[in-house]
Structure 1
Amino acid sequence: MLELKHISFDVADGKGQKEIIRDISLTIPDHTFVAITGPNGGGKSTLAKLIAGIEQPTAGQILFDGEDITHKSITERANLGISFAFQQPVRFKGIQVLDLLRIAAGKELSITDACGYLSEVGLCAKDYVRREVNASLSGGELKRIEIATVLARGKKLSVFDEPEAGIDLWSFQSLIQVFERMQQRQQDGSIVVISHQERILNIADEIVVLAKGQVVQQGPRAEILPGLLGTTAAVGACSVLEQGGRA
């Protein structure tokens, strides 16, 4: 279980300190699919980076399975079981997909095992296992390969920062199918997805709404989603489902 206790995060700007995350307390239970949504600039991606260890909070405490990880690095958190998928996956010239999966798994995966992970994310394994992770791959292909590496890691908590960003409609539909399969396999760990897409929110167990660096709503999908679809009142002047971009 992940627990955020009174987390705040400030950055320096021309006028002094700017508050991005303000006194957030949040619990991500085991074996749960949680979608975090909200308007642009609400702090969604920053919160994901705080969970992963890419950024360090300026106040508060983060606990993972009861252990204080507030000041642990991204590598230390990965070793404890936290995996992070970037909004824009990194390309690696000269590294094959097979190599990337082996690095993610931390062991010498067989080609059969590697192909199994690729098949799980909807890729024809024989066409990709020896491909280089370079500019020849589309955004949708890269996203699915990155999710395959998350599966290969087998972590307790997987965090995805706006996985739908920059991919076409066909790739997005395939991505939804991947998350649906992951949602059905929650015994493998919890999932946190930063997204404003209705189809992703619609398969989550719980939805958290962030606005202006604070949690303004949190609860089961059946309780939160109808309000997001039917009114803008929950998050201010603009609907969270019409807001893209990066927070």
Structure 2
Amino acid sequence: ELIGQAFPYTPIANPRHMVPDWTFGIQEEHLQKMVDEVRGKGAQVVVLLSHNGMDVDLKLASRLSGIDAILGGHTHDGMPAPTVVKNPGGQTLVTNAGSNTKFLGVLDFDVRGGKVQGYRYKLMPIFARLLPADADMQAYIDGVRAPLQGQAGRKARGHRGTALPPRQLQWLLGPGHLRRVDRRERRGPVLLAGRALGYLAAAGRHHHHGSADGPDRHHLPVDHAQRVHRHTDQGDPWKTWPTTSSTPTPYYQH
């Protein structure tokens, strides 16, 4: 049996103006009832397809019983092996296969006597250049790119050969300019369109976007697009360190 769930606190997972006044909770009690229901109907294997993020999935797995595995997304963790989480009903495998089809997570169960007796998991890399492109999708992509081909290769105005301090980086980043922020553990460069712009220091153990759980989790001002963009047309305030680091855990949202 497959059950689906998504990260609940939508104004954190998405730009606030896209989901005004819309949020919902994890409601683990309802999820437990659903798991119990499908088990009662004879399901021998229960898998949760999740877009909660790795941190939320790990906590969820520790509090619920009857789920054999959680195949997750949202935080883009490439897990070479599942994390085995103990819970009152036994254990749950929690894994995440990266993002953007860079990997394919393959989980095989050994089911005997109506129960999972074992498993085999592989995180398989996807080599896109070795696979033929889907004709319909390639045609769609080419159509979207066609009007922009005239701008390809045009040099951007200005150049800076040294890294910008994080505070200056905050003020310079504005709507429409954020392309990709590459965060690294401990200390590392902040990259914008492949160019080093500044340095940041890791404040917590992990830096996953969109989810937070526990006092040791801190969000840096550049760890997610809507926390950097000003969204001036929507009147959204500038998201600063105190705002993002104090975001409550999704378990307190209802």
TM-score greater than 0.5 by the shorter chain = no
Q: TM-score scaled by structure 2?
A: 0.24
Q: Hey, which of these two has a bigger chunk of strand by percent?
A: 1
Decide which structure has the larger Cα Rg and report it. 2
**TM superposition score normalised by structure 1:** 0.24
When you count helix as a share of all residues, which structure comes out higher?
1
